[in-house]
Amino acid sequence: MPRLLLPVCICVTLIAPGWVFAQTNRPVGHEHGAVDCNESPMPGKRPPNTDCAILVHAKFSVLPSGPLVWRFENFSTKEAAQSAATPASAVVEATGKVWLLTLSSKGNRSKGGTFVTETNQLPSIPSGPSYEIVVYQANLGPEAIVPVHTHSGPETWYLLTGEQCLELPGRTVRARAGETMFAPADTPMKLNMVGPGKRDALFIIVHDSSKPATTFVDWQPKGVCHK
């Protein structure tokens, strides 16, 4: 399929499993336009010669109870992390560490793990017959093109290095290395890498698995992240 290079598509849902999803699991590119983000040939880990990769797809049936957060923990081995995982968890490797990412109520901890951080309470996750967690890692510089888009579930970032600024209607959200941030479902957004160097981040979308995760839209950002 042709590579997607247009900065914005107008009110069109694009079908692919990367930052633009489909049920066919055939990648056509991703929402950051000129940067390829396809399924990693090393499941759970971004290859060292790629800037962006889809690390994990994980489906589960029922949302955990209570107000939900994403919890980030490190484990000594992948096997140890997998043994502590819940149906709403994903195990990935990044920056030489094993990460267990778990959708859970606030304050819970996994046995055997080293707690790193947890988000504040997430925006609501639209209900569906089942759900999908998709985890990515991207190491991108300020030149990366990120078309305006929405997601059918909330998106969460944990920054490993660098800085980013997300423009949403009427506000911006910013994060630096070691911090988390998120955006609500069905909300136009424009992601910008800011600061002098690259931004490396894990990011997660959790959504109704019967719907495409990403839709490109024609909302016009004001460019306030760069002012």
Nearest to 187 by CA among 210, 224, 214, 227: 214
Of the pLDDT bands very low, low, confident and very high (cuts 50, 70, 90), residue 13 is very low
29 pLDDT higher than 80 = no
Which of 29-43, 56-70, 120-134 has the lowest average pLDDT?
A: 29-43
Task: Examine residue 1 and state whether it is found in any structural domain, yes or no.
Answer: no
**Residue 19 included in any domain:** yes
Q: Does 26 score more than 80 pLDDT?
A: no
Average pLDDT over residues 145-169: 95
The pLDDT value recorded for residue 105 is: 96
Written as six digits, the tokens of 78 are 């992948």
| pLDDT tens digits, 200-227 | 999 999 999 999 988 889 999 999 998 8
Range of the domain at 132: 13-220
> What are the two backbone dihedrals, phi and then psi, of residue 220, each rounded to the nearest 5 degrees?
-105, 105
pLDDT for 27 beyond 80: no
CATH number of the domain that residue 79 is part of:
2.60.120.10
Q: Total domain count for the chain? A: 1
Any domain includes 47: yes
Residue 224: both structure tokens together: 């306030």
